Amino acid sequence: MIGILFGVLVLTASVVVAGVRMFVGPNDANRVIASDLLFFSVIGLIALLGVLVGSRAVFDLVLVATLVGLLATVSLARALTNGRR
Amino acid sequence: MVFDPVLHEHLWMSVTGQVLIVLGSLVFLTAMVGIVRLPDLYTRSSAVATAAGVGVALILLGVFFFVPGVTTAVKLMAAVLLQLVTSSVGAMAVVRSGYLIGSAVYSPTHHNELEERTEGAPGPGKEGRS
């Protein structure tokens, strides 16, 4: 139990820190990297929430989130350069 | 299904799951420190990609020990494999785009293959912009 709570604490702090980096980031690429970290922290938070609440439906959510995470990252990377590779 | 982790029927599963979750959280902690303290985009992205691959995989493995079962195993294994394969791809795509829009390169860096390969294309250049 204490391990799960520690995980929730660290992941929440990670969301906050990623938000700070997104705010102060020197350019847009740093903001994209911070949004990446924020997204993965939220995936971990969703999984830990599933354990705490005792729901199995949450794991479908985790699977879909990992699928969509790559799409979000790659499309943000394309949007950074206006489609140029 | 009401689930109480304290009253888990097998103690070793609870302990193993919590140890794995704490290890994953420590990977996230290093990523957190890295994204604040590291000097440029490229090193920061290495910290974040590590957390995305190893950290999420460890946390999902730990979660599996709390909710065992075949369906959970299939879903979480698929998620872990996808995460391990795609996190590095996403990070590389972002960093390449970041180089092309001219993110600064930390000055002690002395091996820049992208500079030779993207000759003529816009980039930070030899002197490095910030």
Answer whether B56 sits within 8 Å of A4, measured CB to CB: no
What's chain B's length in residues? Answer: 130
Q: What is the pLDDT along chain B (130 residues), one digit of tens a residue?
A: 445 554 456 788 888 889 999 999 999 999 999 999 888 888 899 888 888 889 999 999 999 988 888 888 999 999 999 999 988 888 888 888 888 887 777 777 777 777 766 665 556 655 444 4
d(CA B70, CA B75): 9
Q: Which residues of A touch B44 (CB under 8 A)?
A: 21, 30, 33
This model of the complex carries an ipTM of 0.89
Partner A, chain B 37-66, Cβ-Cβ below 8 Å: 41, 44-45, 48, 51-52, 55-56, 59-60, 62-63, 66
Report CA dihedral (A27, A28, A34, A36) to the nearest 10 degrees: -150
User: Count of A–B CB contacts within 8 Å?
Assistant: 183
CA angle B28, B29, B31 (to 5 degrees): 65
